[in-house]
């Protein structure tokens, strides 16, 4: 092995440490040359190998996204969509490549008025991932497209070892998916036995699909044999997606939403991401209070987090949708708006969510994503969050193509005008319309200072996503935690309705006094303690990178799987 190869050895540490939950946590990984942090070790390693081969952060991000479509099928995908934040380098403004799914042309505002099923062909939106990755590569990539697809092809052809989480998920879904025989064929074991950790999952149909994409490019997904298979699947199952829907799909390059927080700049995805706007609004509200003086275990700090989340969640419901269909008020991310809404926060009393939007008619009618972060040694970085919506999406595997389709149509408001105290939303900005993008909570985020990138983060978790990202940011920027401790720390969430404050450690005696004070201030924790048993909620999966003095510090989250931070 020559000297250069020795310098490119993967930095690995065998030791494990215990996080705040007593569970095993991967150690903090340090690097000068490049870092990939994702939910899956094989995907992280694939991205790192691209960096080692001369690729940049976008090249590695495309590779990780495609590899996760093989190794993390509950959310990694080529049949879904998402948001990629790109930090091109010092002195260049960050951009958001938005590749959110769209509503098929045959679907209107009342199409699913009487439909309640959350999986199946009718829930499939027009996928954006492949053209999104193609656009990112076209604008910023350095290596040939085919070389970025190759690692995913190898993983699908040769297989990879199934971990405990994937084995459990596949066994559960195979048992539940009698109406989806292709799912059972592709993800079931040939001998009919259950999956066990260490078994090898091989996906020849997916390998063939990826090979077509490698040879013919991203458009092959939307026009050609792959598109033919998608449309045939839709026709067989009564779905709405057509050849025309696929051919017309386009991702967008958008300007991120931005704010200053303390002495930092924060950038997040704009609409149709509601998550980015919610995060910015929360930060603008919290900036008016001295969180650092309160400390991370202070009841008042938790109260202020909850009240900022509550107000941003209400504004989301009232105003946010696809900006091509509904103008989203720019004032939502302004300091002036934050000052105005912060006046309604009482320091020792929770606000009733109902009081924040008296103009919305409320009734009592009775509700999977993954994030990864990448940084190269030249100053380029990527924060990418993408999804199939629910875990394993629609449960529809395209016959003969080996990949899952999303159920993103469920992110629209299916019942216009019906907004409930239980959390159902029927406000007009996110009602279905042909070609419209559904609102998303996804929130890949950059934090910089004096023009230098400091933090890359994001998370899955549906409506909890902006709350999780907010908690990580406050932990680092206000409470001065290391990125390892910031990712491990317990997380809070409030989304306006249902009017419940969620906390990962509800049953933990260490937080009993803090929670008791919050209850005295009229915060409602619902029945979560009874449901959770041990009191430990799992919120998000924030694979993050902190940058200090030219050193990259990668922290994988352990909440879904062990994940991996890979650096060299």
Whole-prediction pTM: 0.94
Higher pLDDT, 118 or 329: 329
* CA 279 – CA 268 distance, rounded (Å): 8
Residue 46 CB neighbour total at 10 angstroms: 27
| Whether the predicted pLDDT of 16 surpasses 70 | no
The predicted model gives 103-111 an average pLDDT of 94
| Whether the predicted pLDDT of 366 surpasses 50 | no
Asked if 267 contacts 93 with a C-beta cutoff of 8 angstroms, the reply is no
**Token code pair at residue 392:** 């394993």
The answer to the question of residue 300 being in a domain is yes
> pLDDT digit string (tens) for 433-473?
999 999 999 999 999 999 999 999 999 999 999 999 999 99
Asked if 82 contacts 368 with a C-beta cutoff of 8 angstroms, the reply is no
| Whether the predicted pLDDT of 264 surpasses 80 | yes
To which residue do tokens 């340090």 refer?
30
The single-letter DSSP state of residue 202 is: -
The predicted model gives 326-342 an average pLDDT of 96
pLDDT of residue 179: 85
The predicted model gives 350-364 an average pLDDT of 79
The answer to the question of residue 169 being in a domain is no
pLDDT of residue 5: 37
The answer to the question of residue 130 being in a domain is yes
pLDDT of residue 363: 55
Reported confidence tier of residue 3, pLDDT bands at 50, 70, 90 = very low
Q: Find, among 511, 447, 450, 451, the residue nearest to 474 by Cα.
A: 447
Q: Find, among 243, 249, 240, 207, the residue nearest to 225 by Cα.
A: 243
| Whether the predicted pLDDT of 568 surpasses 90 | no
The answer to the question of residue 209 being in a domain is no
Asked if 254 contacts 444 with a C-beta cutoff of 8 angstroms, the reply is no
Asked if 440 contacts 96 with a C-beta cutoff of 8 angstroms, the reply is no
The answer to the question of residue 329 being in a domain is yes
> pLDDT digit string (tens) for 463-519?
999 999 999 999 999 999 999 999 999 999 999 989 999 999 888 899 999 999 999
**Token code pair at residue 232:** 């045939």
pLDDT of residue 8: 36
* CA 497 – CA 421 distance, rounded (Å): 6
pLDDT of residue 15: 36
Residues recognised as catalytic: 369
pLDDT of residue 10: 36
pLDDT of residue 535: 55
The answer to the question of residue 202 being in a domain is no
Dmax over CA atoms of the chain, in Å, equals 70
The answer to the question of residue 201 being in a domain is no
Rg of the chain's alpha carbons, rounded to an integer? 22
| Whether the predicted pLDDT of 2 surpasses 50 | no
Q: Find, among 236, 242, 319, the residue nearest to 274 by Cα.
A: 319
Structural domain containing residue 467: 7-154+220-568
| Whether the predicted pLDDT of 365 surpasses 50 | no
The answer to the question of residue 385 being in a domain is yes
Q: Is 383 helix (H, G, I), strand (E, B) or coil?
A: strand
Average pLDDT, the chain: 92
| Whether the predicted pLDDT of 9 surpasses 50 | no
To which residue do tokens 């003095």 refer?
549
| Whether the predicted pLDDT of 418 surpasses 90 | no
| Whether the predicted pLDDT of 567 surpasses 70 | yes
Reported confidence tier of residue 427, pLDDT bands at 50, 70, 90 = confident
CA separation, residue 57 to residues 38, 152, 271 (Å): 13, 17, 24
Asked if 568 contacts 34 with a C-beta cutoff of 8 angstroms, the reply is yes
**Token code pair at residue 178:** 């009698």
The predicted model gives 135-148 an average pLDDT of 98
Reported confidence tier of residue 325, pLDDT bands at 50, 70, 90 = very high
How many structural domains does the chain have? 1
pLDDT of residue 417: 83
| Whether the predicted pLDDT of 22 surpasses 50 | no
The mean-pLDDT minimum among 109-113, 348-352, 447-451, 485-489 falls in 109-113
* CA 81 – CA 127 distance, rounded (Å): 6
CATH number reported for the structural domain that contains residue 555 in this entry? 3.60.20.40
């Amino acid at each position: 092995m020559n000297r250069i190869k020795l310098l490119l050895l993967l930095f690995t540490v065998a030791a494990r440490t215990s996080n705040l939950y007593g569970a095993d946590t991967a150690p903090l990984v340090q690097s000068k040359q490049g870092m990939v942090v994702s939910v899956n070790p094989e995907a992280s390693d694939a991205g790192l190998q691209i960096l080692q081969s001369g690729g940049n952060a976008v090249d590695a991000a495309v590779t990780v996204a495609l590899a996760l479509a093989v190794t993390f099928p509950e959310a990694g995908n080529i049949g879904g969509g998402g948001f990629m934040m790109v930090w091109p380098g010092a002195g260049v403004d960050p951009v958001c490549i938005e590749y959110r799914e769209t509503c098929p042309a045959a679907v209107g505002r009342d199409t699913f008025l009487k439909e309640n099923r959350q999986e199946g062909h009718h829930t499939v939106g027009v996928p954006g991932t492949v053209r999104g990755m193609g656009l990112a590569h076209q604008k910023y990539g350095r290596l040939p497209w085919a070389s970025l697809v190759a690692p995913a092809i190898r993983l699908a052809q040769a297989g990879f070892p199934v971990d405990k989480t994937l084995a459990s998920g596949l066994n559960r879904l195979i048992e539940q998916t009698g109406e989806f025989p292709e799912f059972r064929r592709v993800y079931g074991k040939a001998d009919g036995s259950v999956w066990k950790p260490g078994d090898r999952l091989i996906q020849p149909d997916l390998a063939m699909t990826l090979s077509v994409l490698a040879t013919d490019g991203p458009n092959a997904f939307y026009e050609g044999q792959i598109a033919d298979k998608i449309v045939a699947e839709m026709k067989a199952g009564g779905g709405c997606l057509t050849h025309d829907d696929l051919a017309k799909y386009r991702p967008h390059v958008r300007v991120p939403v931005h704010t200053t927080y303390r002495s930092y700049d924060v950038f997040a995805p704009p609409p149709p991401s509601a998550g980015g706007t919610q995060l910015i609004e929360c930060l603008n509200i919290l900036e008016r209070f001295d969180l650092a003086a309160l400390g991370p275990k202070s009841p008042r700090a938790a109260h202020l987090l909850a009240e900022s989340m509550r107000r941003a969640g209400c504004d989301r419901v009232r105003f946010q949708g696809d900006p091509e269909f509904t103008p989203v008020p720019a004032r939502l991310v302004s300091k002036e708006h934050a000052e105005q809404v912060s006046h309604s926060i009482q320091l020792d009393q929770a606000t009733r969510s109902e009081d924040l939007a008296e103009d919305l008619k409320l009734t009592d009618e009775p509700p999977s994503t993954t994030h990864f972060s990448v940084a190269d040694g030249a100053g380029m970085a990527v924060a990418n969050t993408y999804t199939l919506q629910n875990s394993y999406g629609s449960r529809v595997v395209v016959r003969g193509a080996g990949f899952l389709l999303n159920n993103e149509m469920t992110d629209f408001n299916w019942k216009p005008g019906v907004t409930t105290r239980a959390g159902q939303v029927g406000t007009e900005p996110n009602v279905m319309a042909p070609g419209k993008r559904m609102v998303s909570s996804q929130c890949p985020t950059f934090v910089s200072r004096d023009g230098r990138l400091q933090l890359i983060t994001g998370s899955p978790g549906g409506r909890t996503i902006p709350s999780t990202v907010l908690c990580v940011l406050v932990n680092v920027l206000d409470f001065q935690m290391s990125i390892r401790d910031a990712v491990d720390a317990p997380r809070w969430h409030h989304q306006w309705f249902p009017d419940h404050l969620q906390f990962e450690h509800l049953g933990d005696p260490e937080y009993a006094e803090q929670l008791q004070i919050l209850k005295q201030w009229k915060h409602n924790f619902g029945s979560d303690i009874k449901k959770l048993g041990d009191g430990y909620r799992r919120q998000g999966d924030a694979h993050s990178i902190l940058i200090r003095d030219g050193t990259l510090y990668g922290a994988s989250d352990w909440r879904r799987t062990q994940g991996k931070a890979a650096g060299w």
